[in-house]
Amino acid sequence: MLKILMAEIKYFKLPLLVIFALPLIFTVAALNDILLFEQVYFLKKYFWSVFVGLGTYALIIIIWSLRKKEIRERVHAALPVSVGKLAVGRWIFAVSPFLIVGFYVELLRCFIPVRQIIFIDRINGQLGMLFLALAAVDLAMNSWSALEFKRYDKRLFFTGLISAALLISGFGVIYLASASIIQPLSPSGDENIFLIQPQTSGGEEILFFVWGTVLSVIDLFVFKKRKSFLT
Amino acid sequence: MTHAFEIERLEKTFSEFKLGPIDLILEPGTVLGYVGPNGSGKTTTMQCMTGLIRAESGTVKIFGKENDPNNPEWKFDVGYAGDKRVFYENWSGEKNLNFQKQFYPDWDVQLEKELIKRFEIPIKKKAKRLSSGNRAKLSLIGALAHRPKLLILDEPTSGLDPVVRTEFLDVLFEVIESGERAIFYSTHILSDISRIADELAFLNNGVITLKTSKEDLTENWRRISFKLPQEISEFPAAVAVEREASNYRIISRNYQKTIDALKRLDAENIRAARMSIDEIAVQILKNKN
């Protein structure tokens, strides 16, 4: 398991490095009031959410599309490693960037004065939602392989049912986490660029991470039950 | 004696195709050619064996150990080169082999180096930049270097030009000669099979229609021509019959039996010619039973 995990980390070292370096760079920048943060309100406002939030997600999407393109599960399934270990290695690789960045952002919120890191609270809302979405999509895909019935329509039905349940539960979590999620960010409406963006402040976005982690753990067990490792 | 592998009542159903039930045994030190048209189930059988897909029912034992995905010890005895050659594409061939090496305690670095040299692979090149021939060779090195007791090769020469294919088969020959290794080799390139296989299993529409030794085929199958005034459409052991006036040409799967019958019918000018494995295989696949 560790060998596979290390290989994945080495293979994707550049995007992973960027994922972990971005929050650090912006923390240093914020603490020093450099990078025009103080002078340019726009930069101060959107750098965190665009670079750290969406940037992290974009890089994770790149990593997972590449894994899919190179049929990584097939490479690993041929090795003398138990499917349980494969599933755990895959799970750690999938969730750790989200959880590490999320945890780091929460730490910042606790220890750094708000003036330097305004709007940082949005990042975990974004990251959490995206983590939840990715876990749900992966669970649906693995269920497709695990629920291999002789009848195609039965398989389609059950996978559809699982996907629908995931979507509904995901939206439920989002609703619980922030009632203002689809409200413009300011009453004037001139800043509604990121409409689907929770502006939570009381730490409700942790729910996204919790629910995303729950789904990813279910996904871990479903992965072990896959009937095929060809895709 | 432990079989190299033993497949019992293996079944796998897809929406438009069903494999099996398959029963197949391979003894150590033997090369079994798995022959069948595209879509007959060769790849599915091998993928079930190697754990890439799970069968619905049946068992696969490799050197006596069941191919349990949760207890992968049996994989140490298996070298597999699949129909799709998958790698870490942005890593060089060398790095890909180094990755694989970590999982096999018996990995033979000397053999790996020899094969790289022998195949003349640009090993420092990224996998994605390798030609399909070099990818096939890299895949074979990965399958051979841990000195497995069973090699499972799924159409390893498909898509290769004749020169590369010959090199590839030459290396396989050396592997076969060097020991007790069993090889399960699927292909629809019949000339490959006639070079290396000891036994042949023919698969059609997911079912094994015949399993026999290569000698058995070459000794028993004949193309027979003769003259017979009367019109007869069926002869004992004949799989194909052609007639032009009183001249017949038939293909027999047991020429002795056919010739005895022809003698009883007072056929004249009986001539029997040996057939190549390729010709025989085509006839078997055409007849489907």
CA distance, residue A86 to nearest chain B CA (Å): 10
Strands (E), chain B: 5-13, 18-26, 31-35, 57-62, 65-66, 78-81, 150-154, 182-187, 199-204, 207-213, 222-227, 238-244, 247-252, 268-274
| pLDDT at position B289 | 52
Q: Looking at the predicted structure, is the pLDDT value of residue A175 above 70? A: no
Chain B contact set for A227 (CB, 8 A):
53-54
CA nearest A99: which of A134, A143, A72, A48?
A134
Q: How many residues in total does chain B contain?
A: 289
Q: Kindly state the greatest CA–CA separation across chain B.
A: 72
Choose between A77 and A56: higher pLDDT.
A77
Give the DSSP letter of residue B7. Answer: E
Compute the average pLDDT of residues A75-91.
Answer: 92
List of long-range contacts for A20-23, beta carbons under 8 Å, 24+ apart: A20/A97, A20/A100, A20/A101, A22/A51, A22/A52, A22/A55, A22/A56, A23/A52, A23/A101, A23/A104, A23/A105, A23/A108
Cross-chain Cβ contact B53/A227 below 8 Å: yes
Identify which of A70, A83, A230 has the shortest CB distance to residue B53: A230
Compute the average pLDDT of residues A182-188.
Answer: 44
CA distance, residue A167 to nearest chain B CA (Å): 28
Cross-chain Cβ contact A75/B75 below 8 Å: no
Report the C-alpha gap between A214 and A212 in whole angstroms: 5
Report the C-alpha gap between A204 and B64 in whole angstroms: 55
Give the DSSP letter of residue A34. Answer: -
pLDDT per residue as tens digits for the range A9-32: 999 999 999 988 888 877 777 676
Q: Average the pLDDT over each of A108-112, A120-124, B160-164 and give the range with the smallest value.
A: A120-124
User: What are the CA-CA distances from residue A64 to residues A86, A126, A176, B63, B72 (Å)?
Assistant: 16, 18, 29, 37, 26
Give the DSSP letter of residue B105. Answer: T
CA angle B10, B16, B17 (to 5 degrees): 25
CA distance, residue B282 to nearest chain A CA (Å): 30
Cross-chain Cβ contact A80/B75 below 8 Å: yes
Q: What CATH topology corresponds to B5-214?
A: Rossmann fold (3.40.50)
Strand order in the sheet with B150-154: B78-81, B150-154, B182-187, B31-35, B199-204, B207-213
ipTM, two decimals, is 0.83
Q: Residue B235 corresponds to which amino acid?
A: F
Compute the average pLDDT of residues B133-162.
Answer: 88
- The domain segmentation of chain B, as residue ranges, is 5-214, 221-287
Chain A contact set for B99 (CB, 8 A):
7
The answer for residues whose C-beta is within 8 angstroms of residue A119's C-beta and 6 or more apart is A44, A45, A46, A48, A49
CA distance, residue A151 to nearest chain B CA (Å): 7
Q: Which of B12, B47, B87 to mutate to test the interface with A (most CBs of A within 10 A)?
A: B47
Q: How many residues in total does chain A contain?
A: 231
Cross-chain Cβ contact B89/A70 below 8 Å: yes
| pLDDT at position B29 | 85
Task: Dump the DSSP string for A155-219.
Answer: HHHHHHHHHHHHHHHHHHHHHHH-TTTTS-SSTT-TTTTS-S-----SSTTHHHHHHHHHHHHHH
Highest mean pLDDT among A54-68, A128-142, B172-186: A54-68
Contact criterion met (CB below 8 Å) for B212 and B49: no
| pLDDT at position A186 | 46
Contact criterion met (CB below 8 Å) for A104 and A19: no
Residue B170 pLDDT grade (very low, low, confident, very high; cuts 50, 70, 90): confident
CA nearest A67: which of A18, A1, A154, A138?
A138
Residue A118 pLDDT grade (very low, low, confident, very high; cuts 50, 70, 90): low
Helices A152-177 and A206-224: crossing angle, nearest 10°? 160
Contact criterion met (CB below 8 Å) for A151 and A79: no
Q: What would the two tokens of residue A215 be?
A: 């789904």
Helices B132-144 and B93-101: crossing angle, nearest 10°? 20
| pLDDT at position B231 | 81
Provide the sign of the torsion angle of the four alpha carbons A221, B101, B163, B42, taken in this order.
negative
Chain A contacts to B (CB-CB under 8 A): 3, 7, 11, 70-72, 74-75, 77-84, 150, 152, 226-230
Alpha helices in B79-228, H assignment, sequence order: 93-101, 109-119, 132-144, 162-177, 190-196, 214-220
Q: Average the pLDDT over each of A1-10, A51-60, A90-99, B37-46 and give the range with the smallest value.
A: A51-60
Chain B contact set for A74 (CB, 8 A):
52, 82, 84, 86
Q: Is the peptide bond before A80 cis (omega within 30 degrees of 0)?
A: no
| pLDDT at position A43 | 60
